[in-house]
Amino acid sequence: MADANAPKPSSSVKLVLLGEAAVGKSSLVLRFVNNDFQENKEPTIGAAFLTQKCQLPTRTIKFEIWDTAGQERFASLAPMYYRNAQAALVVYDLTKPTSLIKAKHWVAELQRQASPGIVIALVGNKLDLTNETSDGDAAGDDEAGSGESDDARKVSTEEAKTYAEEESLLFFETSAKTGHNVTEVFTAIANAIPETSLKSARGPGASNAAGRGAEEQRVQLGGPRNPDSKEGCAC
Amino acid sequence: MLNLSSFVQKAQQLLDPTQGLNLTESDKNPSKASLFQNQFRLPASQHPLYEITAELTIPPSNATQGDKDRERGYHYVGKLHLSEAYLCFSTTATSFLQSASTSTSSAFTGQTQGSGPSGNGFTFPLCAIRRVERLHSQNFQFALAITTWNGFTQDSTKDKKDPAKDRKDVREQRITIQLAGQRQACERFCDGLKKGLRAGVGSVQKLKKVVSECYSEYLLRPEDRKNASPPDAGLGMLFRYPGDPKKLRDRAKMRLWAEYLRDNGRNVTLIRQPTFHKLIRVGLPNRLRGEIWELTSGSIYLRLEHPTLYEETLAKHSGKESLAIDEIEKDLNRSLPEYPGFQSEDGIGRLRRVLTAYSWVNADVGYCQAMNIVVAALLIYMNEAQAFFLLSALCDRLVPGYYSTTMYGTLLDQKVFEGLVEKTMPVLWEHLAKNDVQLSVVSLPWFLSLYVNSMPLVFAFRVLDVFFVEGPKVLFQVGLAILRINGEELLDAADDGAFISVLKSYFARLDESAHPKSENPKLRAVTRFQELMVVAFKEFSGVTHNSITELRLKNKDAVLNNIENFTKRTAIRNLGPDSKQLSPDELGALYDRFYTVLFDRQQRDHIIKEEQARRSKNSRPRLAEVSGDNHGVEKGRVGLGPSTSLMDYDAFREFLAGMSKWAVSDAPSTPRRDNFGEKDKSSYFNSFRRSDGVLSPWGAGPEPADHEFLQRLFRKWDVDSNGTLTLQNVVTGLARIKGKRDIMGAINYFFELHDDDGDGKVDREGILRMSEALLFLSRRGLEGSLSPANSDTVLNGFADGMTSPQGLAPGGSINERFLGSVSAFIRRCFEYADPDHPKNRRTDHVEETASKEPSQDLIDVDSQLADPDAFAIGDDDEDDEDDLLAMNSPASSPKPKPAQKPNASNSQPTLDRKQSSSASVTSSGEPSDRRRASKVQSEKANIALDPSNPLHITLPTFRMVVLADELLEQFFESSFPASFHICDGLGSAVPTMPSSSSSLTTFSSLGIGAGRAAAAALGVQGSGAPVPGAAGTASRGGLRGVLDNIVTDGMRVAAEVRRRMEDAQRELEKNAVPGQQRGDEDDDEDDQDDVPGFERGGAGGPAAGTASGTAAGKGVPGSQAYGGDAEMRSVLSSDRDLLEGADAEAGTSSRESSDGNGNVSARGEASGGAGNAAAKVVGVEFEG
């Protein structure tokens, strides 16, 4: 469908965010969608739905983001949200080791229960609470054993990275507060989605050209979204 | 005595699948009390005591300001109900006749004209009634005039000063009720009322406190007394109420309400008339909203019960921390953040306190996200205590299960909602299905937060107004109306996202005109919200509490199963690395077993407690009991939320008894009765059922055994030493036993189990306990593949063997052999034990060699066993028989003190042979050297056996000793792990449980009792070497008791011991080499061939009856013959006792009798010991 500036093929990708309560799932989304950060966000009841586009060189990916509630008891609702998801962002708080355990549980759950071929990214959030420079040397993904001295970090990059490699997950450390690495996560996911699943996976929803107009409208209604953030997403 | 029949009745209720849904109002056949409580929104402490048809007359003086016709007044015909503390009247047909089911009752249905469940009428707390007079009436009618405290409670002190003035301002609320019915019934009702009124006097103070917090009291106070500050009507008083008061016409509403309250009573003395419901439908005025919510939801009655509960709870738990508090803390700043009150410390503080207090009062629910939003909404209109009680009315009655840890209520109502959409809007439903849009993605937050954060607040509160009067059906009606109104647009939405957007924009425009283009200005003035309400309550008036109940029932199982599957899946996946050693099936089965046991136990607890409460009749109502019976009934079911996930020792026993036959008790303490109430779920509980099953702490299942081994296992698994096991503990524990199928692992594990201090040594007592445990584990036969030759026969043979006498042979023989192995085990252990000073290095060396090559040894054994004559190992046969024969002759001359020495030296050669045999296969065994070495050892061992010299065995020794015996080896390799029937349970593993119990009856009659008696007997007997019996005294049950109980094996022990004594004697005499050859024979004592040999020796046969006959006679000679040093206990002497008993009785006790009824056989055994009077006594004791 013709997007005003980029007549590239566009497809939507259903992405679900999972992770322990208060690791910053909603904040990541908010940063990605609105390039904004709020200290006090209303807790997610069930799940929140937002959309954001991500421009790739060859195509446009429209993320339909399901931001789920983190509280443990909402876990049984999660299947409702990760159903048919093509991508998942499993978030932990790198100042909280238990949140990584929970994240591992989610990864296992997704690997067994979600649609096959789902792209999973493991994201350690709240990098701003560590002493590491969260800006600048972004591309390097700073896993060069950077000094984990006296900061709040409790989960080493190495540990999480090793785990991510074992399970073949994308891995990032982010800060929703500073915005560090946030768009990178989504871009990496967009790139990792296999072409094939883009065409078929969403079924009527994705291929339905008639629905496009409605979708366009929805994007605006879905949340007050900053048009600038599109640029932020592009890579 | 317990009232059994009432128990059975209760139990049947429990087992009725439609019962105990834990869905408060949705029980298919709810109790009268719960219907009554629901209808009038009363606390669980209230029960309908009397009920009578009556006509309510509200006198015109009350009904009007004076300008209406004085003659008219208002009349309502309905039912008058009396409970412990309430007098209620409702025009809505009674909902709780005996025959009533929810489908015939329209009560909770709430006729959608808006009258709510309690219809027109009143719900007076008896303490609010000031005076009841009986009126004279001409028609022999029974008429009562009721005067309430309406408006007087506040100023009771001032009343005295100036009653006249008061009269002017506050009109007395006086109503008349004509009772219709037989005089007797009326009298009874009045007597009840009198009693209740007297009891209610004490609550007047509570009433005053509760009422003083109601805004209506302030509102109706005469102007000249309004100087006092108004009661707290929520944060709205400080931060303004949401919405524009002008637009909401708040003043007008307030005037209407003031008038209504003046005419019809305020707060607890309010009389519901049609206007009341109409006033609610148009929206409550801000300052009264909280109070009316409290009244219509019934939470005010909870508050009346415990006016100070909120403050007390906070005080009691102040400073404490909990998970819920952490969770609450995270959300405090994000609850209705747009409302100014919640940007202030005051508002946040209130929210924190209410949520925290509730999390303490209802720890099962604790805190669930969305509660913060709902409570925040409540706090705008009511004070903290009011919100606290309203929250509990919500969680317990209005939206049960919504906020539970599994949120099953939420999920269930989503299914119900989907069902309703499918029924009422098939086109939309089809569209959703086609586009794979999940409705609950949209609707779940509506229900969970009661529309509070879906709609603009002003409208959400309007929904809440109706919701509190008419019940949860309102949520459905509104939801359906939303979809109906947006139907067109929704049909264009092709995915979840589009769907959400449509609705989001709709909610944002609720205040706009529904018909902006209409010519008719009146129509133009109708807002979208008004339209929504009309559609909801007119078009969907068919959605009643009934239809919701039905759908809830229909979907309940699927929803719970879903949750349970999810929980199970998650739980199993999160069990950690140990769990990988078990198969997924096993994990699944373990999970089920674990929670089934906990669930069943909770159920039984509940019933027993309920019964106790019923009997003690002092069931003090607590807030948590608001929902009454429906609360705990299915508690424990995983899907319903928090159930205990900790298994205590008793539960652990029960858990094991469900899958391991050795964990089933031999001596059920409760008699068996007929079955009742088959529980479809627990097929593995089929074997033993008792009519008092639910009464018994073990329910319908077999009574679990209690043995030291179980305690050890429990302690071992309980890694945190907190006296309870989690599923994780159980899985880890079992994984170590069953996981790797590694014999060394199993042996190590068994050793560790008995190594109390973890120093790698097991002392004398420990050795005895080990052997005791071995016997305990094997007393119902061994499982698993015991040897290549007869692996099939064992598995099947066990079961079969128990049913038919001819089949007894293989199974029985294995058990006999095992018993032999165990005695050999003890012997060897003592022989190879290290004294407690590090001296004997050589032993270790030998052990090392022996244990290094277990597999080869195994092969050796296997090859022997592969011999067609599986049970006879090679050419040892004759020797064996010789031996047996030899044994029998000296039996007549019992030696009181054979002492430990002969025993030890006797056993030494046996081990020696074993070693050499293994060594010959394994490594470069220099037999002669070895022999010499072991001789030295044996001498050492002799010293070691002296109880005054502490000794111990180490793991390598233990390993060696186990591996020295092929049966023990197999036991650890396969039979022990296999004895945990994780997946199939006992039901299938031992299909012949009842018949196998025929051979176990001897246990049941002798069982533990015998063990104790025997142990007691042993306790005073002084003899040589330590024996299993020593452990018997040390621990409950006792090895001897267990020994006694070994099916068919008593005689074998006797024979074995006798022979050992012989050997020992000879050993003493010859003191060397010749004995070793004899020793060779020892190992073959296990063989089947021994049996005939033994029988020749004069025993009646290896039947169970005989065995226990032996047992019965056993302890007695010991106690007679020996006395003195309790420390000096020996295998030999005890076995000797056994032997003597056997000699005396074996012949008389017949196999048939033992195969028959347990008691009979026990008796037979007792009389079998007739020659020995004491033996008889013991036998009788056993029976008792």
CA dist B1176 to A227, B894, B1044, B1111, Å?
A: 98, 21, 15, 11
**What would the DSSP string read from start to end of B138-154?**
TTS-EEEEEEE-TTTST
Model confidence band, residue B935 (pLDDT cutoffs 50, 70, 90): very low
Say yes or no for a CB contact (<8 Å) between A71 and B404.
no
Which pLDDT tens digit goes with each residue over A197-218?
A: 665 444 444 444 333 333 333 3
Which residues are within 8 A (CB) of B261 and not within 5 positions of it... i.e. 6 or more apart? B216, B219, B220, B270
A150 touches chain B (CB under 8 A): no
Residue A76 has its nearest CB partner, among B407, B493, B573, at B407
User: What stretch(es) of chain B map to CATH 2.30.29.30?
Assistant: 31-98+111-155+170-212
Which of chain B's residues have a Cβ under 8 Å away from the Cβ of A108? 573-574
User: What stretch(es) of chain B map to CATH 1.10.472.80?
Assistant: 399-567
More confident residue, B932 or A20: A20
Residue B453 has its nearest CB partner, among A42, A202, A222, at A42
pLDDT of residue B429: 95
Q: Which tokens is B627 given?
A: 């929902």
Which pLDDT tens digit goes with each residue over A55-113?
A: 888 888 999 999 888 888 888 888 888 988 999 999 999 999 999 999 999 999 899 88
Residue B342 has pLDDT above 90, yes or no: yes
CA angle, B595 as apex, B594 and B596 as ends, to 5°? Answer: 95
Which residue of chain A comes nearest to B502, CA vs CA? Answer: A218
E strand or H helix at B216: helix B215-219
Residue B1039 has pLDDT above 90, yes or no: no
Which pLDDT tens digit goes with each residue over B559-589?
A: 988 888 888 888 888 777 777 778 888 888 8
Which of chain B's residues have a Cβ under 8 Å away from the Cβ of A25? none
User: Cα–Cα distance between B844 and B735 in angstroms, integer?
Assistant: 30
Q: What three-state secondary structure class fits B393?
A: helix
Residue B626 has pLDDT above 80, yes or no: no
Interface probe, candidates B351, B452, B496, B559, chain A, greatest A C-beta count within 10 A: B496
Lowest mean pLDDT among B263-272, B434-443, B823-832: B823-832
Residue among B103, B670, B717, B626 at smallest CA distance from B390: B626
User: Cα–Cα distance between B262 and B249 in angstroms, integer?
Assistant: 20
Share of chain B above pLDDT 90, in %: 19
Which pLDDT tens digit goes with each residue over B380-391?
A: 999 999 999 999
More confident residue, B141 or A141: B141
User: Cα–Cα distance between B129 and B148 in angstroms, integer?
Assistant: 4
Residue B703 has pLDDT above 80, yes or no: no
Which of chain A's residues have a Cβ under 8 Å away from the Cβ of B501? 214, 217-218, 221-222
How far A119 CA lies from chain B's nearest CA (Å)? 20
Say yes or no for a CB contact (<8 Å) between A42 and B570.
no
Residue among B23, B640, B37 at smallest CA distance from B364: B640
Tell me the count of A-B CB pairs closer than 8 A.
128
Interface probe, candidates A13, A38, A52, A73, chain B, greatest B C-beta count within 10 A: A73
Say yes or no for a CB contact (<8 Å) between A49 and B441.
yes
pLDDT of residue A217: 38
Range B31-98+111-155+170-212: architecture per CATH: Roll (2.30)
Say yes or no for a CB contact (<8 Å) between A47 and B498.
no
Which pLDDT tens digit goes with each residue over A151-161?
A: 789 999 999 99
What does DSSP assign to residue B94?
Answer: P
Which pLDDT tens digit goes with each residue over B637-668?
A: 666 655 567 888 888 888 888 777 777 776 65
Which of A173-182, B272-281, B1043-1052 holds the top average pLDDT? Answer: A173-182
Record: fold of B399-567: Cyclin A; domain 1 (1.10.472)
Lowest mean pLDDT among B886-895, B972-981, B992-1001: B992-1001
Residue B493 has its nearest CB partner, among A69, A108, A214, at A214
Say yes or no for a CB contact (<8 Å) between A71 and B440.
no
Residue A195 has pLDDT above 60, yes or no: yes
Say yes or no for a CB contact (<8 Å) between B333 and A81.
no
- In this prediction the pTM is 0.67
User: Cα–Cα distance between B1057 and B1135 in angstroms, integer?
Assistant: 6
* Mean pLDDT of all residues in B1165-1172: 38
Which pLDDT tens digit goes with each residue over B608-623?
A: 887 777 777 554 444 4
Say yes or no for a CB contact (<8 Å) between A45 and B496.
no
At A63, give phi and psi (nearest 5°).
Answer: -80, 130
Residue B479 has pLDDT above 90, yes or no: yes
In chain A the domains, ranked by start, together with CATH numbers, are: 10-136+149-219 (3.40.50.300)
pLDDT of residue B833: 72
Residue A49 has pLDDT above 60, yes or no: yes
A213 touches chain B (CB under 8 A): no
Which residues are within 8 A (CB) of B1183 and not within 5 positions of it... i.e. 6 or more apart? B1005, B1159, B1162, B1163, B1166
Please determine, for the modelled complex, whether the ipTM score is greater than 0.90: no
Residue B436 has its nearest CB partner, among A40, A80, A205, at A205
Say yes or no for a CB contact (<8 Å) between B570 and A75.
yes
pLDDT of residue A162: 95
Say yes or no for a CB contact (<8 Å) between B569 and A109.
yes
* Mean pLDDT, all residues of chain B: 68
Q: Name the H helices within B889-953.
A: 900-921, 927-945
Which residue of chain B comes nearest to A209, CA vs CA? Answer: B494
Which of chain B's residues have a Cβ under 8 Å away from the Cβ of A74? 369, 407
Q: What three-state secondary structure class fits A115?
A: coil
Q: Positive or negative CA dihedral for B970, B972, B974, B979?
A: positive
Which of chain A's residues have a Cβ under 8 Å away from the Cβ of B373? 42, 45
Say yes or no for a CB contact (<8 Å) between A71 and B569.
no
* Mean pLDDT of all residues in B904-909: 41
| Cross-strand bridge partners of residue A105 | none
- Residue B1175 near residue B1167 (C-beta atoms within 8 A): no
CB atoms within 10 A of CB B1072: 11
Residue A211 has its nearest CB partner, among B372, B498, B504, at B498
Q: Which tokens is B134 given?
A: 């009986």
Which residue of chain B comes nearest to A221, CA vs CA? Answer: B501
- Residue B116 near residue B471 (C-beta atoms within 8 A): yes
Residue A16 has pLDDT above 50, yes or no: yes
User: Cα–Cα distance between B409 and B662 in angstroms, integer?
Assistant: 41
More confident residue, B865 or B237: B237
